[in-house]
Amino acid sequence: MASAALLYTTSPLHFSLSSSTNHRKYKLHKHTRIRPTSFSSNSHLAVLHTSAPHHHTRGLDLNNKILSNCRLRKLTEAMEIITSSGFDTTSIGSDAYCSILQLCAETQSSDHGKKTHLIITSSGTEIDTLLGQKLVFMYVKCGDLIGARKVFDEIAYKANTVTWNLLLNEYVKRKCFNESLLLFKHMNSLGTKPNSITFTCILKCFATLLSAEEGVMVHGYVIKLGFGSQNAVGNALVLFYAKLRRIETAIKLFDEMPHKDVISWNTIISSCMSNGLPRKAIELFIDMLLGGVSIDLATFISVLPTCAELGHVSLGRAIHGYSIKSGFSLELPLCNSLIEMYSKCSNVDSSIQIFKTMKQRSVVSWTAMIMAYTRAEHYDQAIDLFLDMEEEGVKIDEFVITSVLHACACKGSSKDGQRIHEYVLRNGMISNTSVANALMDMYAKCGNMEEARSIFDSTLSKNIISWNTLIGGYSKNGFPNDALYLFGKIPQRIRPNAITMACLLPAVASLSCLERGREIHAYVIRAGYVRNHHVENALADMYVKCGALTLARVLFDRIYEKSLVTWTVMIAGYGMHGYGADAIALFKQMRRKGIKPDKVSFVAILYACSHSGLIHEGWYFFNMMRNEYQIEPNLEHYACMVDLLSRAGRLKKAYEFINSMPIEPDSTVWGALLCGCRVYRDVNLAEKVAEKIFKLEPDNTGYYVLLANIYTEAEKWEEVKRLRERIGSRRLKKNPGCSWIETRGKVQVFVSGDNSHPQKEEIKKFVEDVVKRMKEEEQYVPNARYALMINADDRVKEEALCGHSEKLAIAFGVLNSADGRPIHVTKNLRVCGDCHEFAKFVSKVTGREIVLRDSNRFHKFEEGRCSCRGYW
């Protein structure tokens, strides 16, 4: 049977064609075509002696050399072959290029990878599916996402699912979630079928972007295509619903997973923790152990924060012990988690022990230890540890700086903070927005708002945290108007968040601007922040301090998960308004709910007792704090107890109590007794107490004024004169009394003797008419002592009393608000006794409710009675 051969050559070569009958030699030249040659059935077909042909053999040899070098990870040698001068690249096969690109990706050799890509392109080699995949892979692994996308766009129509996933996953890693979703849509439009890896990437995007509707649609798509039972997809779905705060759905999906792996368990445990269910997380961890699931390092790192959240140090120790048995005790991430866990469980000594015994420390370890010292209020040790880092040459990052600045802020030490600030400037870190924000926060908490504002103004890339930090700083440092003004300056491209509201509401509370507060509450509802725990607490506090105690209680009752802060806000609110019995009832209810009071809670309940004259109850809670909860009283607690005794007229006992204190009393403690001396006109004791205060705070004008008031009420005019001379010699300025009232969205401010208001004549007439009726109906005699005027007759003093700011504000409120509406007035100083009587009478004759907030408490006047019942 005849046979035929057809060969094409690309270069001159010699070969022999032999048969059993003849032998001929041919010389062929480039592009010469060999004609078909027939052989008889009796002939032998000789082997083609081509030496194989020569060029083809050389190409195979080079391909093999490249593949061999790549297998041996000799990238340089492989590159030398394809880049040698005069080398014909057309002889290199796709498999060789794929091997080189794979090695470039593994070694992240970007230059070699790009050079290989150029050679492929210039040689005219077809970029098939596999070669395109390797090119994309190389660019991705070398960190060149733009190069990867450029290649991908050229081959997208023929790219396989693996190639699409490479790019999708890289976008997710770089947090380019929107780009990843656009790519997924493009993938669908070209008809490429997604797989489990595709859905895992896309669900991560929806989880991060909190895109509920789209994510749920993809969930349906997953079920339709039959990927729902795959662990990777199931784990991504659990995480997606957990991020949406739909933890019940996440738990249901987890329970329905047929084959849970360790990643599944770790995901649901960490999801429960992030959704505020630490006890559920612990239950799942125990189920995991009982189920015989092999625990990995991530499991321990997921479960340890639950111990910290619950303050369950014994459980944390047990898990620590189990990690040692499991062979993970020396793992760096676990040690870092243990440092954090023990410190959050108030066991900083264990954190120190772990830190000291660590064979290796990362910058995360140092940061965790700085934060541990800060939590334990060991601020100096935290700052010293930062200095140790410098000495040991540890690379300091933004997280270290923000942590140590937080320690400085908590310490209230701008001096230490300035040293860190100098380090930041020396090392060029000031352009980092997180560092700038931490510096702002430190200066704000140290009371230096000028420096905080300076940093804010010089920060080029401000984010919402920058605005929140300064707004919060102004609120806490007594600049509420600046806080509200700054809020109005937030650019449209930056959306205020829940923290913005939590920072802004205290400013509204400070000003007692109820209408403004309601506007912000409406914004909170529209923006969807109403369930944010910090915002809920700030709203309740705002209503309390704006005098709307009923609204505060309604909001309090609607809060689903009340934290200790929530309860404390409401207890303090009742105390401020003089409802001590209600505060005590709420405190007891809190304890019945299993919520453990802290130092701040006890300050709130002791304050409530002191402002309602509940002496026995106050002592009961003071002893409970020490004996039942082992909380050592601080200066605030002692000040409350002194105030409690002083308001009840037990000045001698209060004085003895102060002298028996185990810690040195400050001006606040002595000031509480000085206020009692004024109420009960004990001039001798007042002088002793005042001298102690003047040594502690020689420049605080408030205490000088308080002593002057005591002398005035005792009609010791010479002492008043000497005290005023003393104030003048120290160049101290008295804080002028002012009152304000909000009507129709505007705040009207009045100072004593104010003659600048457009309605001054109407206001003056109203006050004079009320005073006249008080004299006629109540046998009222103006209390000239509150005029604080020396060498003036009673008529002049009475005129001065009529010009007190709170009287003017109350008069304005009655004249400019609808009948029946409550009048809310705020004063920056303590209301005087004469104005207190005036407010009682106005509430009686007008039938209006008057809520007057002074620097000390709330006074609610109704039908001639005040809620303070004389305790003010």
Q: CATH number, domain at 728?
A: 1.25.40.10
Domain match, 46 and 161 both: no
Residue type, 91: S
Asked, for residue 799, whether it belongs to a domain, the answer is: yes
- Residue 770 sits at the vertex; the CA angle it makes with 769 and 772, to the nearest 5 degrees, is 65
State residue 231's pLDDT score: 92
Asked, for residue 400, whether it belongs to a domain, the answer is: no
Asked, for residue 677, whether it belongs to a domain, the answer is: yes
Number of independent structural domains in the chain? 5
Domain boundary among 735, 761, 794: 735
Domain match, 19 and 111 both: no
Residue 34: both structure tokens together: 């060999």
State residue 186's pLDDT score: 93
State residue 53's pLDDT score: 44
Number of C-beta neighbours around residue 795 at 10 A = 10
Q: Consecutive sets of 10 residues in the chain, 872 residues long: mean pLDDT of each?
A: 33 33 36 36 35 48 86 90 70 87 94 92 88 93 93 91 93 92 93 93 92 92 89 95 95 94 96 94 94 93 93 92 91 95 94 94 96 96 95 94 97 93 95 97 96 96 97 95 95 94 95 92 93 94 94 95 96 94 97 95 97 95 96 96 94 96 96 92 94 92 87 85 83 81 88 87 93 86 65 72 92 89 91 90 93 90 87 65
Domain boundary among 735, 765, 790: 735
Domain match, 792 and 853 both: yes
Domain match, 104 and 18 both: no
Count Cβ atoms within 10 A of the Cβ of residue 789 and give its class: 0-12 exposed, 13-18 middle, 19 or more buried.
Answer: middle
Asked, for residue 247, whether it belongs to a domain, the answer is: no
pTM over 0.85: no
Domain match, 717 and 809 both: no
Asked, for residue 774, whether it belongs to a domain, the answer is: yes
Asked, for residue 491, whether it belongs to a domain, the answer is: no
Domain match, 688 and 792 both: no
Asked, for residue 510, whether it belongs to a domain, the answer is: no
- Residue 628 sits at the vertex; the CA angle it makes with 624 and 631, to the nearest 5 degrees, is 80
Residue 570: both structure tokens together: 């409401």
Domain match, 713 and 811 both: no
* Residue linked to tokens 């120290």: 730
Q: Structural domain of residue 801, as residue ranges? A: 739-866
Q: Quick check: 168 and 160 in contact, CB under 8 A?
A: no
Domain match, 129 and 40 both: no
Domain match, 684 and 783 both: no
The beta-carbon contacts of 556-564 under 8 Å, at least 24 apart in sequence, are 560/531, 561/276, 561/533, 562/593, 562/595, 563/533, 563/537, 563/595, 564/590, 564/595, 564/596, 564/597, 564/598, 564/601
Domain match, 707 and 797 both: no
Strand partners, 324: none
Q: Quick check: 506 and 474 in contact, CB under 8 A?
A: no
State residue 856's pLDDT score: 84
Asked, for residue 231, whether it belongs to a domain, the answer is: no
